[in-house]
Amino acid sequence: MSKSAKQPRTSTDPIVELVCQKMMARSRLGMSKYESTLDRTDLSRLDWLRHAQEEAMDLANYLECLIKIELQNSPHPPDQVQQNQP
């Protein structure tokens, strides 16, 4: 089977289906924005690692923001809530 052959994608898990739909939409957006797929050869392994690291750092920032919001909205006094502070 060639790389480009499409296999049907189905799952009995609605969450998995939702994630798949979002990934397909993200792929279409990326292809439109960058006029390329991820199956490209113009980036080195180091380039890919740096891209992944940048995405991971963004994720860490989003998580920290949500943790801060959760702590602010917690009904427990701050000393009862475990905080990730150095």
pLDDT at 27 over 90: yes
Residue 57 structural domain: 44-76
Q: Does 67 reside within a domain?
A: yes
Model-level pTM? Answer: 0.65
Q: Does 68 reside within a domain?
A: yes
Q: Does 85 reside within a domain?
A: no
Q: For the chain, how many structural domains are there in total?
A: 1
Q: Does 57 reside within a domain?
A: yes
pLDDT at 4 over 90: no
Q: Does 23 reside within a domain?
A: no
Q: Does 71 reside within a domain?
A: yes
Token pair 């739909």 is found at 21
- Give the pLDDT score at 81: 53
